[in-house]
Structure 1
Amino acid sequence: MSESAESTAAAAAARAFGAHLEDDDGLDGEFGTATEYPDQLDYYSLLGLAQKPPPTDTEIRSAYRNLTLMFHPDKQPSHLQQSAEQHFKRIQTAYDTLIDPKKRVVYDLLGAEGVAKEWGHGGAMGVGGDAERQQVGVKAMTPQQFRRWFTKTMKRRERKAVQEMVDSRGSITLGINASSTIRVDEDDDVTIQIPDTVVPVSYAAKYSFQTPLNLPTFGKKVKEEEVPLQKKEKPDESTAEEEEEEEEVEDPVHVTFSAGIAGNIVHRVQPAKARFEDGTEEEMQIPLPPVLIANNISLGATLTPNVSELIGTKGIWNNQLFSTLRDSTVLVEANVLPVPILRTTVARAFQPIPGIKPFQVTTKTTFMRSLLESPPSLEVHVTKEVASRKLAFCAWSSGLWYYPDFLLDNFFFRGMTVEDMYASAGDLSSLQVGLISLPKQPLNVVSMDEDDAETEEAELRRHLQKKQMTDRAAESWQTFVQVSPGGGGLGLTYSRNLFSGTPADDPLKSEWSDEGYAPMAKMEDARAVRLEVSSTVSPNLSFVWSLKGTRRVGEFTKMGVGIGFADQGILMTIGWSRLGQGLNLPIVLCSKDEATHDAAILASIFTWASYLAIEFGYVRPRDRKRRREAAARRHNQLKKLVPQKRAESEQAIQLMGDQVRRRQVREHEQDGLVIDRAEYGYWPPADRKPKPGFEEPRTTDVIFPVANLVDRGQLVIGAKTVKHQIIGFHDPAPLLKKRLKIWYTFQNRSHFVDIGDKEGVILPQRAHVCPESEQFNPLAT
């Protein structure tokens, strides 16, 4: 290494240990990396171990013994005992976690906080946890079995928590009349103004909640007391495997109770005459409290049985009919109000010809009247996948059926009265045929192996990111043709995501899978808008249409605004929903007598322009400001920690100094791996002009911490290793892109390697050999 390079490295090391200005600490970097900065201590980095491939118990014990010899408080001078004790406690905690195979599984999934929580009271491994309820204890499981058991336990816990959030569903709808907002005169001139009156005219409220129903299982399962005692007391590995792989038994029946009320809001006035002191009189209309009129009250329950649990496999239940039901989804709905209704639904997939895609057939039978009056109505819905993400469907409904005359004359059927026929005049048969296109599922960006070329990895990542952004549009559409005795129509619905960001219609996703834990990203990015356009054209060429936009405003909260041309006139809808709870406000902007399609289109343009002004003029600037403020707070927190972390690293280097020197000398005598210099920190980019204030490197000397990682002539730093958490390291420039540079000697040849903060390396390598002109002197004995 040249003298200029040595002097630069020495100057950088001097600056890192106090020779630079106190206020120039490298914390003026990019705010975009603030949220990615690690908060928790990484145990692998602390012990100097790579996470992939997983370290063996021997490697963990070796790293632990090496560090405890350096940092044992009883072996240090008095002025360093407190620092040594702090490091020793951290090392002990990291070792206790990683040497326990089950704790290491949980640590790899959830971190140190997850280990403390799951081994605490109420956790999976704590007092009163899931492990105590196991018939075969987790001690009999291998680490692989324990991982599968733990992920299933966490999935079950997550599913229960999510179910508790959405068990109850409710919605409130309040219809508002603001028909004076849009006026159309005789010349079809459209004017938009502030409405004269805005009054609620209708209301609706619905509520439902779900609860399991415990029923006998017809002797399908063996009771726990009937299990032989020998089998309980002597679990072997195969039994643990069977216990761990046993699928969770669902509740046999779920019941959903629902109730609703809907009606009109009547506004009344009381005529009155006012007499003043001067003798004049004036007629007045005094408003009275509004009256709520209930036009429809509903009350009912829906049973969702788990047929495979309720029906056994022996005797009468083993015939073909019940075998078909066992593979079906069954719903039984019973309503008490406004009229008694019993409706049964059975859905099942059929594959008449082996090798083809199955048909999904759903049949629905509804009993509304006595069987003496008319047979039950019948609905059949058939769906089949005809192409990738394309579903064709056909739906038929019988409507109201009448018994033929010969049955009425010769049997006990009495038929329907004229009043019943008039009340059921709207229950007509219909046939609907359509095609559905489902949206593409977004692709996740995968990480490449460590030995892949950096350029190839970056190119593939950019390609996948570009494809992912394309798929995030999530285009979907549906078209159908419907015919019935009362008419028919052609319908079309199209939807997609607008703008970049988190989709508006993402369902509540699971963070747990068989592969492990994948936490959902926080809602920090801009949200996309889900746009939906729908239209229905009748045979007389009249049509209704609507335009609706939905946007996520929170982790579980969505808001939507829509406008369209409907039977009531020009209708605007505002909606809010969160975890099954919803609020809807349909607002009539223009009465049906004055409404025209031109007025509706103008209202749509005005509404869309208003939203764009609010979105890009207020919402997104506000979100960017909040993110900058959050990053600035994080920036200040890290800035305050730099002196403390620098002092800790200096004390750690003093504690490990003597032992590292002896190991360096031993490696030198064996022509092994000798670390000559190592620096970690920020260097200005060489390919472009650095930003003002970032022209000088901000680094720290880490020769002793790096040399301490050398084990049997080899040094391994994993790609996931948090480098500034290695003992003896500290971060001299948080929020800036840092690098690690190592100069080392191996077999009397000088080597050099330069890696990024998120890159791994294995030393020595032939690719690191320096040219003859840049050979430097090895460590002197």
Structure 2
Amino acid sequence: MTTPTEDYAGHTPDHHTNHVPTADNDADYSLVLDYPSEADYYALLGLSRTPPPTDAEIRSAYRTLTLSFHPDKQPADWQEAATGHFARIRDAYDTLIDPKKRTVYDLLGAEGVRQEWGPGGVMAGGGGGKAESESQQLGVRAKSPQEFRRWFLEMMKRRERRAVNSLVQSRGTLTLGFNASSMISYDPEEGETHLHVPEPSVSDLRIGYSFRAPFPTLRKLFGGEEERDDSEGGNLDADADAAGEDGSKEQKNQMLKEEEEEIQMTINTSVGGKLQRLEQAVTLQLLDGTTEDRKLPLPPILIAKQVALGAGISRVFGDVSGRKGIFQWRPFSFLSYSGVALNASVLPTPSIQANVVKTVTLVPGTQPFSVNLSTTFNRSIAKSPPSIGLQITKQIGQRKHAVINWSSGVLTWPEVLVSLLSPFVDLGIDIESALLAASETSQLQFAITSASKKSRVTEDDDDDNEEDEEDEEEVEYQRVRSQERAEDKAAESWQVGVAATPEQSALSFVYARNIFSGTTASSLARTEWSSEGHYPLPPANEPRSVRIEVHSTVHPDLSLAWAIEGTRKVGQLTRMGVGVGLEGARGIVMTVSWSRLGQRIRLPIAVCPLDAVNVDSALLAVLCPWVTYCAWEFGFNRPRERKQRRRVIARRQKELKKLIPKKRAESQQAIVLMADQVRRRQAREERQDGLVVTRAEYSVQPSKKKSKKSGGDRADEYDVADVTIPVAALVDRGQLVIAPNTAKFHTIGFYDPAPLLPKTLKIWYTYQGKAHYVEANDAEGVACPMRLHLLD
């Protein structure tokens, strides 16, 4: 019986309870994905991650383990066994004692340390970059751990950005339209809608392609340096550090920003139009000497209606206040923390468009406005002034934004100005330019958008330990509520907008969310690196969701245009989708799409003409693909995925079970090697009436369900690991502390007796001559001694 009184040594009592997973006897698929493949260096040295250990604590733990595992301190017959254990301890020590390696280890693990210090890593001399050691030999100032962390995160973020950009440097679209309008017909006399087997034919084609490339500046064209690779980030940082030796920190940051502010150029082209089959009249001479006139079909010909060819450049500016030259002038100083883009078009008509994007805060402490100002020159300035566009965006709530978009359209010079300058300059739109250039009308749009929820894991700070003192019920309630909020609407988003022009106005509505999955999966891939830390993408351990988007537009005459589209990931970087919508004169159109890394293929198929569109035909066009997909998803795809996951679980369990004898033997070797040192320390604790571990077991948690094979409890099928010596080795100055959220079988002398199953650590100890008992699962920490553990 335990007595809930204050603890002995001033520790905060653990309010954690044994949260036994509610899964069945089979290992959960997520446990297979999350099972650690390498030892935890912190657990191996018996250290805690939070708060991070000091260098003195790391050295003390290493010296303590060296007394037991150094090969020179063991008999000849045990030196080989000690060498293997000591090598792992040495690797852990070398990694954690080095602040730079420890930073990388905390972010990427042991494999990340090996990669970043290996060939091609940011800390090695791969890819033409200098190694960190070589940079320090050149006199570069050594970074503090905080500076190195910021530098490393920026380097990894830059590497990720370059890798992503290399995948999507080019973007292509292919749209191939089909005419299958004979599929659905409406008989007005009978008032019935009929479904037929169509005879589809290709109706139109559109191809678009764009690619990005560095802007050919004069320095690059006439013998300048080539573009830096991401592996040369060490050189860039070394140069910036060298400048920072004698200069200010602002100058160093300026060098880094100037390197990142490169002008990007985009070249795009497209062509589209109707596909028509022509016939050629020919005269054939037959074998009997007679002739026959026939019309032979020719290959389809594209009658182009849309031809576009253009290029654009863009650049993002940082802080230009400290730069020399034109940036010191007031008009150009406005470019601080802004983006500028310039697009030029050759076809169908020559035009130039300039955009400036900047964030403006009118009142300090309030949400800023994002302003996008654009101007387009598609006619001669002597004929008409350029058209102007203005878009203002402001956050009005959590995940909600208001957007106002105004476009002036085609403008004309004021009559007063025309009358004054007409004797000297011919102002006004001539017939030629009016026919060539697109005629745009003024437009005003207002919209409110609500973005989907995006949960991001944040790093634990040192102050987070104080939260462990909260009441367990409150913590559990907050956890459940947080999970409910994250899974509430499955990345729901919506947008409501009103658009008005001199000709017409319309009300539009867009709604999107994920279905067929309880997770809030976003349709866009999330970045893994930021300036704050590393956020690895979680493995997919649930069925893939389907992203549903509904678009509808209501015109003043109450005519309705709508579209429903569902997309689903079919690969790591590939998505497929099916949509149905009412598209003007084409009637009901079904669209099949495929996209991967900026490449997109769309196949719009007209299935019902406009004159046959009614409620029945619309429901038929929507329900047929919906029922077909549901039958495939729940009748074939998900049973197949469950079967594959059961195979993965069984295969992984078999692999891990084969390793149990080897891990058990290594555990026994470690126990023998450390037994003498531990017994001497325990004897010293006993003489001081301190903490003495009398017994410790690490085994499977008892299950409420019976095993199908033996009919008994699940724990009876697995070993009970005796870890008395390894646990006693963790006692330091009369205290035993095991950090939470660490796999306990990574502690030296432990092994995993039941992989992929929940386990419990049970400890019997004496303190001041009284017996105590405590148990904890793998997610819980242990702090001894405590009055809470006292046995009556």
CA distance in 1, matches of 2:69, 2:308: 73
Pair 1:255–1:319, CA change in 2 (3 A)? same
Q: Tell me which of 197, 200, 204 is aligned to 1:197.
A: 200
Q: Tell me which of 39, 48, 51 is aligned to 1:50.
A: 48
Q: Tell me which of 767, 779, 782 is aligned to 1:761.
A: 782
Are 1:553 and 2:570 an aligned pair? Answer: yes
Are 1:566 and 2:583 an aligned pair? Answer: yes
1:341 is aligned to: 351
SS state at 1:91 partner? helix
| Contact 1:121/1:129 (<8 A) preserved | no
Distance apart, 1:40 and its partner CA:
1.0
Distance apart, 1:134 and its partner CA:
8.5
Distance apart, 1:469 and its partner CA:
0.8
Pair 1:234–1:159, CA change in 2 (3 A)? closer
SS state at 1:140 partner? coil
2:157 is aligned to: 155
Pair 1:708–1:306, CA change in 2 (3 A)? closer
Structure 1 stretch displaced more, 288-297 or 174-183 = 288-297
CA distance in 1, matches of 2:269, 2:447: 32
1:171 is aligned to: 173
**5 Å matches for 1:265-276?**
265-269=275-279
Distance apart, 1:273 and its partner CA:
9.3
CA distance in 1, matches of 2:323, 2:659: 66
Q: Tell me which of 78, 81, 91 is aligned to 2:79.
A: 81
Pair 1:424–1:162, CA change in 2 (3 A)? closer
| Contact 2:214/2:262 (<8 A) preserved | no
1:106 is aligned to: 104
Pair 1:407–1:560, CA change in 2 (3 A)? farther
User: Structure 1: which amino acid aligns with 2:411?
Assistant: W
Deviations 1:572-627 (A, max 9, x none): 11222222221111111123343335312321122222222222222322322232
Distance apart, 1:570 and its partner CA:
0.8
Distance apart, 1:386 and its partner CA:
4.2
Are 1:415 and 2:436 an aligned pair? Answer: no
User: Structure 1: which amino acid aligns with 2:452?
Assistant: P
**5 Å matches for 1:712-731?**
712-731=733-752
Structure 1 stretch displaced more, 740-749 or 80-89 = 80-89
Pair 1:27–1:589, CA change in 2 (3 A)? closer
Q: Tell me which of 520, 531, 548 is aligned to 1:514.
A: 531
**5 Å matches for 1:577-616?**
577-616=595-634
CA distance in 2, matches of 1:320, 1:239: 25
Are 1:293 and 2:314 an aligned pair? Answer: no
Are 1:623 and 2:641 an aligned pair? Answer: yes
| Contact 2:489/2:513 (<8 A) preserved | no
1:367 is aligned to: 377
CA distance in 2, matches of 1:611, 1:283: 50
CA distance in 2, matches of 1:163, 1:675: 57
| Structure 1: gaps of 5 or more residues | 2-25, 218-228, 772-781
2:211 is aligned to: 208
| Contact 1:136/1:232 (<8 A) preserved | no
1:535 is aligned to: 552
CA distance in 1, matches of 2:351, 2:121: 46
User: Structure 2: which amino acid aligns with 1:170?
Assistant: G
| Contact 1:379/1:396 (<8 A) preserved | yes
Deviations 1:506-540 (A, max 9, x none): 43322223332221112332222222222222333
2:227 is aligned to: none
Deviations 1:337-384 (A, max 9, x none): 221111112233445566654443333221112223322222233334
Pair 1:436–1:288, CA change in 2 (3 A)? same
| Contact 1:503/1:530 (<8 A) preserved | no
Deviations 1:632-686 (A, max 9, x none): 221121011111111111222222223322222222222121111110011314x
Deviations 1:733-773 (A, max 9, x none): 111110000101111111111111121112222211111xx
| Structure 2: gaps of 5 or more residues | 2-23, 221-238
CA distance in 1, matches of 2:376, 2:28: 64
SS state at 2:499 partner? strand
Pair 1:732–1:149, CA change in 2 (3 A)? same
1:66 is aligned to: 64
Pair 1:499–1:751, CA change in 2 (3 A)? same
Structure 1 stretch displaced more, 185-194 or 114-123 = 185-194
| Contact 1:501/1:527 (<8 A) preserved | no
Pair 1:675–1:135, CA change in 2 (3 A)? closer
Deviations 1:305-327 (A, max 9, x none): 34557897557543432233445
SS state at 1:639 partner? helix
Distance apart, 1:701 and its partner CA:
0.9
**5 Å matches for 1:290-689?**
290-307=300-317, 313=323, 317-352=327-362, 357-403=367-413, 404=415, 406=419, 409-413=422-426, 415-422=428-435, 426-442=439-455, 444=457, 449=465, 450-470=468-488, 472-484=490-502, 486-503=503-520, 505-567=522-584, 568-685=586-703, 688-689=704-705
Pair 1:373–1:135, CA change in 2 (3 A)? farther
Q: State the TM-score, normalizing by the size of structure 1.
A: 0.85
CA distance in 1, matches of 2:411, 2:662: 84
Distance apart, 1:159 and its partner CA:
2.0
CA distance in 2, matches of 1:352, 1:651: 70
Pair 1:594–1:636, CA change in 2 (3 A)? same
Structure 1 stretch displaced more, 762-771 or 75-84 = 75-84
CA distance in 1, matches of 2:421, 2:437: 19
Are 1:248 and 2:257 an aligned pair? Answer: yes
| Contact 2:576/2:594 (<8 A) preserved | yes
User: Structure 2: which amino acid aligns with 1:756?
Assistant: N
CA distance in 1, matches of 2:747, 2:251: 41
User: Structure 2: which amino acid aligns with 1:437?
Assistant: S
2:93 is aligned to: 95
Pair 1:201–1:407, CA change in 2 (3 A)? same
CA distance in 2, matches of 1:733, 1:292: 67
SS state at 2:257 partner? coil
Distance apart, 1:451 and its partner CA:
4.6
Pair 1:372–1:31, CA change in 2 (3 A)? closer
Distance apart, 1:703 and its partner CA:
0.9
| Contact 1:503/1:527 (<8 A) preserved | no
Distance apart, 1:423 and its partner CA:
5.0
Pair 1:474–1:643, CA change in 2 (3 A)? same
CA distance in 2, matches of 1:253, 1:351: 26
SS state at 1:196 partner? coil
Distance apart, 1:407 and its partner CA:
5.3
SS state at 2:111 partner? helix
1:22 is aligned to: none
Pair 1:212–1:748, CA change in 2 (3 A)? farther
SS state at 1:466 partner? helix
| Contact 2:566/2:579 (<8 A) preserved | yes
Structure 1 stretch displaced more, 365-374 or 582-591 = 365-374
Structure 1 stretch displaced more, 195-204 or 663-672 = 195-204
User: Structure 2: which amino acid aligns with 1:758?
Assistant: A
| Contact 1:140/1:235 (<8 A) preserved | no
SS state at 1:190 partner? strand
CA distance in 2, matches of 1:369, 1:296: 19
| Contact 2:453/2:520 (<8 A) preserved | no
| Contact 2:141/2:245 (<8 A) preserved | no
Pair 1:240–1:730, CA change in 2 (3 A)? farther
CA distance in 2, matches of 1:368, 1:649: 78
User: Structure 2: which amino acid aligns with 1:66?
Assistant: T
Structure 1 stretch displaced more, 588-597 or 634-643 = 588-597
User: Structure 2: which amino acid aligns with 1:533?
Assistant: V
Q: What is the root-mean-square deviation in Å for CA atoms of aligned residues?
A: 3.5
Q: Tell me which of 729, 733, 738 is aligned to 2:759.
A: 738
Deviations 1:154-205 (A, max 9, x none): 2222222222222322211111222222222333422223322343532322
1:183 is aligned to: 185
